Amino acid sequence: MNFRTVFLLGCLAATPALAQTDSPVDAQVDVAPVVTPAPAPEGTVPLADIQRFVSVYRAVRQGYVDELPDKKVMQAALRGLITDLDPHSAYLNKEQAQGMDEFANGSYDGVGVELVQLPDRSLRVIAPIDGTPAARAGLLPGDVIIAIDGKPVDVDNADAGKSQLRGEPGTKVVLRVLREEQPQPLELTIERDTIRVTSVRVRLLEPRYGYARISTFQSETGAELSKAITGIQSTSKPLLGLVLDLRSNPGGVLGAAVEAADAFLDEGLIVATKGRLPFSNSRFNATRGDLLNGAPIVVLVDGGSASASEVLAAALRDHRRALIMGERTFGKGTVQTILPLDNGDAIKLTTARYYTPSGGSIQARGIRPDVIVKTAHFDEDDNEILPREADLPGHLKAGGATSDGGDGDTAKVTAETDYAIHEALIMLKGLSVFGDKSPAPTPVAPDSDASAAVTKPAG
C-alpha cells in the first residue's frame, strides 16, 4: 500500500465524503495528530483497536464504489472476524442457523453432503451422506465444487455453500466438480430431495456376525444403534462379532458418538473436551452394559471419517475394544458450539478440542488404522488422494503438538461385493476364536467312538 492510498483512507476516515471532481489524493485536509491511548485494562478491547475498526468501517461506507447499507457492512465485518479463525468457525445467518438444527434432527431439503471451504472459496467434499441425492449422483469424498448452477462458488463459509445446495424437492442443481486424476471438470446434475437420513443400518453378514453402518451422527443415533443391534441377536445366539462401518461418516452430534461408544464399553473415559470456557471442559465416561458382552469389533474408517466418527473409533481402540481397519481418518478433532444471536443469526464457534482416552488429540493428525486396507493403489500417506484436516489452511494444531504434516448406499453392499467388509469379516472371525468364552469341545481320539474321548490328566 503506497502513501497515496494510506492518505486516502485517512481522509475518508476523518472527514465527510468530498463532493468534488478532483482526485481525493490531491485534496488538502488537515489531519489531527494521533494520540496514543493508554493501555486497556485486561479483558477489555483496546481503544486503539476500536478506533481502527471505526476508521475502516467509515472508509468502506464512504469510499466503496457502490453505496452499502450499514447492516451489510456490519455483517461482512462479523463474518470476517469469525471466518479467519479456523476452517470450521462461521457466522450463520438465520436460514443457515435453522439448517444446522434441521441437520441434527435428520430432516431437511437438499442434496445431502458435508463440506469444508478452501482458501479460493471453493468447497471440498468431506463425504456425501448415504442414500442421499449427492451419493446417488456420484459425488465422492475429496471432490472440489468450483461452480453451482454455472456460477463460480463465492461464499463466506461451507455452511453458506450448503445453503446454496438446498432447495425445494424435485428442483435440480448442477455442480462443476474437480476430481483427482480427472483432466477436465465434471458436471453433475443432482435432483434435490427431502433428506430423511437413517443414520444407522444393521444386518447380519453371516449367522452371528453383524454389520452396523453409521452414516452420520444425529441426536437419536446412539439410541437407534442400541435398538438395532439388540434386534439382530438373542440370548441363545448372541453375536460373535461386529463390523462397525464408519467410512465416509463426516461426523455430527458429539453426544451421539458418546452414546454409541457407551453401547460397547463397560467403564472408562470415552472422550474429554478442553477449551477456555467452563462449559468447554467436559469428560464423558462409559456406563456399565456392553451390548456385545465383549465380542470383538472391527471398525472400518477412511479419509472421509471425521469428527464424531473419529471420537467413536478412538474410544473403542484406546480401550482395546476394537480393531481399526481402513485408511487414515480426516483428523477433525475440534468441537463447534452454536451461539444464537438476538436477530436470529448465530455464530458457529470452535470452543474446544477433544482428547481420546489415552490423552492424545487427533486434530490435524487423524487415526491411523491398525490394519491398512486401501481403496486406491497408493502405499504411502504422501500419496493419499483424500484431503484431510491437516491440508486445510488455518487448521488448529493438536492441542500443543504440531500437526502431522461411490455411488449408492454403503449399507447395501455385502462382504462379497465390498473388499473392506470382506477383509473385516475374515479378521472378525479370527478375533472371535480368541474371544469366545464358551467351553471348547472335548477332543475325540481318531478312529474311536465318543466314549473313548481323550481327557487331559489332572495336575
| Residue (of 222, 217, 278) closest to 251 by Cα position | 217
Contacts 24+ apart (CB under 8 A), 47-56: 53/77, 54/13, 55/9, 55/10, 55/13, 55/14, 56/9, 56/13
- CA–CA gap between residue 399 and residue 331 (Å, rounded): 13
Residues 191 and 208 in one domain: no
Q: Which of 139-143, 155-159, 165-169, 178-182 shows the lowest per-residue confidence on average (mean pLDDT)?
A: 155-159
Residue range 94-111, pLDDT digits in tens = 888 887 777 667 678 999
Q: What is the DSSP string of 148-211?
A: ETTEE---SSHHHHHHHH---TT-EEEEEEE-TT-SS-EEEEEE-EEEE---EEEEEEETTEEE
Whether the CB-CB separation of 27 and 20 falls below 8 Å is answered with: yes
- Does residue 448 form part of some domain? no
pLDDT on residue 190: 97
**pLDDT at residue 119 above 60?**
yes
**pLDDT at residue 183 above 50?**
yes
Q: Which residues contact 304 (CB under 8 A, 6 or more apart)?
A: 126, 127, 141, 247, 248, 249, 250, 330, 386
- Does residue 13 form part of some domain? yes
Show the beta-strand stretches assigned E in 344-443: 346-355, 371-372
- In this prediction, residues 132-160 reach a mean pLDDT of 91
Specify whether 374 is catalytic.
no
Q: Exactly one of 89, 156, 193, 332 is catalytic; which is it?
A: 332
pLDDT on residue 435: 61
**pLDDT at residue 214 above 50?**
yes
Could you list the residue range(s) of the whole structural domain that residue 166 is in? 90-196
Residue range 49-86, pLDDT digits in tens = 899 999 999 999 999 999 999 988 998 898 889 988 99
Residue range 354-404, pLDDT digits in tens = 999 999 999 999 999 999 998 643 344 444 445 567 666 567 877 654 333
Annotate 412-424 with b (16+ C-beta within 10 A) or e (fewer): ebebeebebbbbb
- Highest mean pLDDT: which of 19-33, 167-181, 408-422? 167-181
Whether the CB-CB separation of 366 and 100 falls below 8 Å is answered with: no
- CA–CA gap between residue 254 and residue 234 (Å, rounded): 30
Residues 275 and 340 in one domain: yes
Residues 211 and 234 in one domain: yes
Whether the CB-CB separation of 373 and 327 falls below 8 Å is answered with: yes
Whether the CB-CB separation of 243 and 371 falls below 8 Å is answered with: no
pLDDT on residue 411: 40
Q: Which residues contact 381 (CB under 8 A, 6 or more apart)?
A: 328
- In this prediction, residues 198-212 reach a mean pLDDT of 94
- Does residue 442 form part of some domain? no
Q: What is the 8-class DSSP label of residue 248?
A: T
More confident residue, 199 or 407: 199
**pLDDT at residue 323 above 50?**
yes
Residue 208's CB is within 10 A of a number of other CB atoms, namely 15
Residues 191 and 270 in one domain: no
pLDDT on residue 378: 33
Specify whether 159 is catalytic.
no
pLDDT on residue 55: 94
Specify whether 307 is catalytic.
yes
pLDDT on residue 406: 34
- Does residue 377 form part of some domain? yes
C-alpha cell read off for 232: 439382530
Residues 221 and 177 in one domain: no
| Type of residue numbered 277 | L
Q: What is the 8-class DSSP label of residue 32?
A: P
**pLDDT at residue 409 above 50?**
no
The CA distances from residue 138 to 111, 129, 179, in Å, are 12, 11, 11
- Does residue 76 form part of some domain? no
**pLDDT at residue 265 above 70?**
yes
Residues 97 and 181 in one domain: yes
pLDDT on residue 34: 47
- Among residues 196, 224, 257, the one where a domain terminates is 196
| Type of residue numbered 100 | M
- Does residue 80 form part of some domain? no
pLDDT on residue 387: 59
Cell 483428523, residue located? 331
Q: Which residues contact 366 (CB under 8 A, 6 or more apart)?
A: 310, 328, 329, 330, 331, 388, 389, 390, 404
- CA–CA gap between residue 394 and residue 136 (Å, rounded): 32
The helix or strand, by DSSP H or E, that contains position 212, with its residue range, turns out to be strand 209-214
CATH number, domain with residue 175 = 2.30.42.10
pLDDT on residue 328: 95
pLDDT band of residue 36 (cuts 50, 70, 90) is low
Q: Exactly one of 215, 226, 305, 307 is catalytic; which is it?
A: 307
pLDDT band of residue 155 (cuts 50, 70, 90) is confident
Q: Exactly one of 159, 318, 361, 418 is catalytic; which is it?
A: 318
pLDDT on residue 451: 34
Residues 191 and 206 in one domain: no
Whether the CB-CB separation of 312 and 260 falls below 8 Å is answered with: yes
- CA–CA gap between residue 359 and residue 103 (Å, rounded): 30
Residues 191 and 289 in one domain: no
Q: Which residues contact 382 (CB under 8 A, 6 or more apart)?
A: none
C-alpha cell read off for 374: 486401501
Angle at 107 between CA 364 and CA 261, to 5 degrees: 45
- Does residue 458 form part of some domain? no
| Type of residue numbered 295 | A
Residues 214 and 312 in one domain: yes
pLDDT on residue 120: 81
- Among residues 144, 167, 196, the one where a domain terminates is 196
Residue range 242-254, pLDDT digits in tens = 999 999 999 999 9
pLDDT on residue 98: 84
Average pLDDT, the chain: 81
Share of the chain above pLDDT 70, in %: 77
Residues 187 and 223 in one domain: no
Total number of domains in the chain: 3
- Does residue 79 form part of some domain? no
- CA–CA gap between residue 293 and residue 230 (Å, rounded): 12
Residues 237 and 185 in one domain: no
Residues 112 and 225 in one domain: no
pLDDT on residue 58: 93
Give the 3-state secondary structure of residue 371: strand
Q: What is the 8-class DSSP label of residue 411?
A: G
The full length of the chain comes to: 459
